[in-house]
Chain A
Amino acid sequence: MILEILSSALDAAPALVFAALGATLSERGGVVNVGVEGMMRAGAFAAAVASLAMPTPLGVLVGMGAGASVAAIHGLLCIRWRSDQVVSGMALNLVMLALGTFLLEAVFSSPSSTPSITQLPLVFGRSPLTWLALVLPFIVHFALYRTAWGLRLRAVGEKPQAVAAMGVRVAPLRFGAVLMSGALAGLGGAVLSTSTLDRFEHHMPSGLGFMAVAAMVFGRWTPLGAAGAAAFFAFGNALRVGLSSSAPELLEVVPKGVLLALPYALTLLVLSLQGAKNVAPAALGHPYDPELR
Chain B
Amino acid sequence: MRKALPSILSVISAILICFIAAGLTRDFGTAVDAFMAMWWGAFGDWPKFLETGASTTLLRPLGEAATKAAILTFTGLSVTVAFRVGLFNIGAQGQLVVGALAAAVVGAKVELPALLHLPLCLLAAAAAGALYALGPAILKLKRGVHEVISTIMLNWVAVSLVDNWLVTGPLRATTSGDNSASGTDQIHASAELPRLLGDLSRLNFGIVLALIAAVLTWVFLTRFTRGFEWKAIGLSQDAARASGIDVERGFIEAMLLSGAFAGLGGAVLILGTELKYPASLGAPWGFDGIAMSLIGQGHPLGVLAISTLFGGLRAGGTRMQLFGVHKSFPELIQGLALLLVAARMLWDKLIDRLSPRKPA
Contacts and interface: CB of A to CB of B under 8 A. Distances in A.
> Does chain A touch chain B in the assembled complex, meaning CB atoms less than 8 Å apart?
yes
B8 interface: no
B21 to A, nearest CB: 8
A272 interface: yes
A101 B165 contact: no
A83 B287 contact: no
B326 A105 contact: yes
B144 A82 contact: no
Interface in A62-80: 73, 76-77
Given A73-B339, A94-B334, A260-B160, 11 more contacts: A81-B346, A84-B342, A86-B88, A90-B287, A91-B342, A94-B338, A98-B332, A213-B152, A261-B160, A267-B149, A276-B145
Nearest to B288: A94
Contact of A83 (B153, B163, B345): B345
Q: Which of B153, B154, B156, B290 has most A Cβ within 10 Å?
A: B153
B207 to A, nearest CB: 23
Interface residues of A, number: 53
A247 interface: no
A95 B345 contact: no
Main secondary structure of the interface of A (DSSP, over half): helix
A55 interface: no
Contact of B291 (A88, A94, A267): A94
A5 interface: no
Nearest to B88: A86
B168 interface: yes
The B interface is mostly helix, strand or loop, or mixed, namely helix
20 contacts: A83-B345, A84-B342, A87-B290, A90-B338, A94-B331, A94-B335, A95-B336, A95-B339, A98-B329, A98-B332, A101-B328, A102-B329, A111-B326, A210-B155, A256-B164, A261-B160, A267-B153, A268-B153, A268-B157, A271-B149
A75 to B, nearest CB: 12
A20 to B, nearest CB: 14
Contact of B338 (A82, A91, A96, A99): A91
Most buried by A among B165, B166, B291, B325: B165
A257 B166 contact: yes
B249 interface: no
Q: Nearest 7 pairs between A and B by C-beta?
A: A257-B165, A257-B164, A95-B335, A260-B160, A94-B335, A105-B326, A98-B332
A10 interface: no
B165 A255 contact: yes
B139 interface: yes
A48 interface: no
B37 interface: no
Task: Give the residue among A81, A94, A256 with the most B Cβ atoms within 10 A.
Answer: A94
B68 to A, nearest CB: 15
A272 B90 contact: no
A96 B324 CA distance: 20
Contacts of B237: none
B50 interface: no
Nearest to A276: B145
A268 to B, nearest CB: 5
Interface in A10-27: none
A73 B339 CA distance: 9
Given A271-B143, A277-B144, A77 B339 contact: yes
A76 B343 CA distance: 9
A179 interface: no
Contacts of B145: 268, 271-272, 275-276
B165 A258 contact: yes
B339 A271 contact: no
Interface string B136-149: 00010011111011
B42 interface: no
B162 interface: yes
B318 interface: no
Nearest to B144: A277
B156 A264 contact: yes
B331 A97 contact: yes
A86 B148 contact: yes
A49 B165 CA distance: 34
A84 B149 CA distance: 15
A282 to B, nearest CB: 13
A93 B287 contact: yes
